[in-house]
A and B are shown apart, each in its own frame.
Chain A
Amino acid sequence: MSPTIINLAYLGASILFILGVRGLTHPRTAVRGNLLGATGMLVAVVATLLDAEVFGAGVAGLGVILAGLALGSAIGGTLALRIKMTAMPEMVAFLNAFGGAASAFVAGAVLTDLGGTGLVSGAGPAALQTHVLVATVVSGIIGSVTFWGSLVAFDKLRGMFLPDAPVTFAGQQAINVVLGLIAIGCGAVLVSYPEMTEAYFAVVVVGSVLGILLTIPIGGADMPVAIALLNAYSGLAAASTGFVLNNDLLVITGSLVGASGIILTQIMCRAMNRSLVNVLVGAIAAGDTKKIDADAVYAGRVKRTSAEEVAMLLETARRVVIVPGYGLAVSQAQHQVRELATVLEGRGVEVEYAIHPVAGRMPGHMNVLLAEADVEYDKLKEMDTVNPTFGQTDVTIVIGANDIVNPSARTDPSSPIAGMPILDVDKSTSVVIIKRSLSPGFAGIPNPLFAADNALMLFGDGKQAVLELTAALKDAGVG
């Protein structure tokens, strides 16, 4: 097939990707948008298969390609069908890792193939112009940082080897800067002496160490930022591989994804009122903020309640808002929460869900969990929409959330979370907090909400507590 037709196919694929992402701007068009994106990918893959060089690779060459596609599809498909919705952050971290690694490997392949098939415009080593070499180095660095960074994020989310808390040590930032400089230095060597392909592997090794060191100081609750940022990296890695291969499609697509990741990173940082640098160095754990004595905040003022008592409260309520947090995902209580809401709605109560932008471990995580439990999406309210309504809310039920409902963000300028936008649950008539204990959230500070006059603590596992609450409410309804 002629290069013109292939390039036109690539252009078509790029347009389909853009239309696909645009489809994601509304839940009604989102499924179709995703299918458009997938169609774009299919067009790109088929066009590449028909490329004279790929097609000319012979039966053996095509066989290898088809084998790779089949193997990857089998693994990817299995993962996609098996993964639990609560584990979606891990899934995205995993996919990010693979995307980053693939870019680093492609750049490595092109470099190793020096003077090979004339993959890069015009055959031979001379074809590796300076900008191609620079792009190769960039792919190597970003690709390896993305791969290892995502694996560390994955591990932290799973809680396998690394602690959820930030891992920091003296001189960490200095070491990172030095590693970055070494990577750039090795890259400069490669650009000056393209025949020294070893320099590329040095770049990848240093990038790998850097990826690990950059991600270990990021704490669990900051994971939404880390995942969004790694998402941006995987896009930028693909774009720089596009520069290596002189391929428009990779450049366009990579920059789309890069932009998406960067926007999400910004949104997440704003939702925590912290700068990106602050998140990346894990600064919230630094002990420079004054320690607030939890006993002084809670002493004698925390009211413990029971499922029956809350059921009585709910019986007379007309509007109830449910605030989910990471604890809901941990105890997988989304279906039980939905059941409670159904019972309440059956009694004529208006039920809505208030979703904080950084609730959970990745952007939008709570929405997916509640959608899985068949909660209609028009009941999932964003922070800015729901905040003015807390004043007219009879009962707010907070499940497994802490820092995102901590009023000291509003009231105490010396608090580590001062200025962070929060859900104003304390403004509702009553607040019921379902939580295992009074232990602090990620910010490590006590929450004055728990000791507020209108607050009731329902201690226990999220799922169990909601089940008991629903049962108590049903009993009350019958009796």
Chain B
Amino acid sequence: MDGFLPLLTIFMLAVFVGYEVITKVPPLLHTPLMSGSNAISGITIVGAMLSLTTSNRVAMTFAFVALVLATINVVGGFMVTNRMLSMFKKKRDDPQ
């Protein structure tokens, strides 16, 4: 079971860190939180890249599909979050 316990430890600690940090996000920003955390969950992109090194054709196809999907998730998620967040302003930039 080597490898499992350290991973489980990390998993549990990260859940707690996540809980503590995210409960402080105000409802105002819940939509960007969702799209932003969504982008971060595209971290599978790393897994897809590692899996692409295989010589097995089928595995390679799976990994490639995963890579494209995860990249859409990452790029789309961060960009749309940025677009949303840049709209939140306290004072008008150009008063009419």
Contact = CB atoms under 8 A, between A and B. Distances in A.
Interface string B15-29: 101110111111111
B78 A37 contact: yes
A110 interface: yes
Interface string B53-96: 11110111011111111111111111111111111111110001
A167 to B, nearest CB: 24
Contacts of A79: 72, 76, 80
A365 interface: yes
The bracket for how many chain A residues form the interface is 35 or more
A253 B43 contact: yes
Nearest to B72: A76
Nearest to A253: B43
Contact of B69 (A37, A45, A72, A365): A72
Contacts of A17: 40
Chain B interface bracket (under 10, 10 to 19, 20 to 34, 35 or more): 35 or more
A377 B79 contact: no
Contact of B31 (A21, A33, A96, A365): A365
Contacts of B52: 54, 57, 61, 64-65, 68
A440 interface: no
A188 interface: no
Contacts of B56: 112-113, 116
B44 A31 contact: no
Nearest to B36: A34
Contact of B44 (A95, A131, A238): A238
Contacts of A30: 29, 32, 85, 88
Given A17-B40, A79-B80, A372-B87, A259 B18 contact: yes
Interface string A3-23: 000000000001001101110
A44 B46 contact: yes
Contacts of B74: 41, 72, 76
A183 B86 CA distance: 43
Of the listed residues B23, B25, B72, the one surrounded by the most CB atoms of chain A closer than 10 A to its CB is B72
A61 B67 CA distance: 13
A21 B21 contact: yes
Contact of A247 (B47, B65, B67): B47
Grouping DSSP codes into helix (H, G, I), strand (E, B) and loop, the B interface class, with mixed when no group exceeds half, is helix
Interface string A112-123: 110011010100
Nearest to A263: B22
Contacts of B49: 45, 48-49, 54, 65
Contacts of A18: 17, 21
A257 B39 CA distance: 9
A149 interface: no
A446 interface: no
Given A20-B40, A37-B40, A382-B27, A72 B70 contact: yes
Contacts of B70: 72, 98-99, 102
Contacts of A231: 34, 37-38, 41
A31 B41 CA distance: 18
B77 A95 contact: yes
Given A34-B85, A37-B40, A45-B45, A119 B50 contact: yes
A337 interface: no
A105 B69 contact: yes
A418 B56 CA distance: 58
A256 B35 contact: no
Interface of A: 14, 17-18, 20-22, 24-28, 30-31, 33-35, 37-38, 40-41, 44-45, 48-49, 51, 53-54, 56-57, 61, 64-65, 68-69, 71-73, 75-77, 79-81, 83, 85, 88, 91-92, 94-96, 98-99, 101-103, 105-106, 108-110, 112-113, 116-117, 119, 121, 129-131, 227-228, 231, 234-235, 237-239, 241-261, 263-264, 267, 342, 355, 357, 362-365, 367-368, 371-372, 374, 376-378, 380, 382
8 contacts: A41-B45, A68-B52, A72-B71, A77-B79, A98-B69, A237-B44, A257-B37, A371-B87
Given A25-B21, A129-B3, A252-B14, 6 more contacts: A41-B42, A72-B69, A105-B63, A245-B47, A247-B47, A253-B40
